[in-house]
Structure formats: C-alpha cells, structure tokens
Amino acid sequence: MTHLVKGDKAPDFEGIIETGKKIKLSDYKGKKLILYFYPKDFTSGCTLEAENLSENFDFWKNNGYDIIGISPDSVERHVKFKEKHNIPYHLIADTEKEIATTYGVYGKKKMYGREYMGIFRTTFVIDEEGTIVLVVKKVKTKEHTEQLKKLLEL
C-alpha cells in the first residue's frame, strides 16, 4: 500500500496518454488534480469508477479539478476504453508500472488465497502546488464522486 500521505509532495512523473503524447505531473502545477490508479480497463469495477468520474466531469471542471486515470494498460487499450465509455479525461499507460510503484500502489495482493502482483485501487487529490491533500485507499467505484465530494467537503 502507498507510503504517501496527506501533506506529502506528489512525486513528479512522465507518462504516455491515449494520444501517444507524454505528459508530466508538473504540467498540472497551478491546477487541482484527481489522480486515480486502477487495475485494468474494461473490468467491472474499473469501468464503474471511470463512468462515475466521467458522468461528473463537469462538476469537477467547474470546481477547478482535472482528472487523470492511470493503469498498466497499453495506449491502444486506453483508446478503446475511452471511446467505448466516453471518458473525457486523459488515461496514462503505465505499462511498466513505474508510476504506480513510485506512488506505492503496485504490490503483492491476495485473492481467493492466491497471491499476485497488482495495482491497489487508490485516488490521490493534489492541490495547485503539487501537495497531496487526500489519499483514498478504499475507493467506492460506483459512487467515487460522492465519496470524494464528502471527503473534500465540496
């Protein structure tokens, strides 16, 4: 699980988005950001989370937030996922899990008694100065916006 906590500087990173362009966290300096890590495109929980944030995209924009999703999926898979679910924000292809590792959200998981390496679904809310203001480890995929609004007191 992540070692990052509220008050920490969010580690800068560079990642490739669905257009093939590289972006950095530092590109978002001066903006508030919802940075969420999820395991895999087209799976039920990940789809619900992406759809919930997409349906509430205008709310987030109107409150000064950008959104970026990060998973180990390829750029090509992100393109298909965005198209199928009308996702209006960028998705980063972290195929080598470098960003996830830096943020402490890639590690050993257990399901049905089987251990495997995977992504811990986690959301970081980052302020205009690049400081983490919220870490959500127990994400409610279907109602993630409501969960974040409550925690951020919006």
Q: Which of 35, 46, 92, 132 is catalytic?
A: 46
Q: How far apart are the first and last CA of the chain?
A: 27
Q: How far apart are CA 131 and CA 29, in angstroms?
A: 10
Is 2 annotated in the active site? Answer: no
Specify the amino acid at residue 129. E
Assess contact for 62 and 152: CB atoms under 8 A: no
3-state secondary structure of 58: helix
Sign for the CA dihedral angle at 38, 75, 62, 26 comes to positive
Give catalytic residue positions: 46
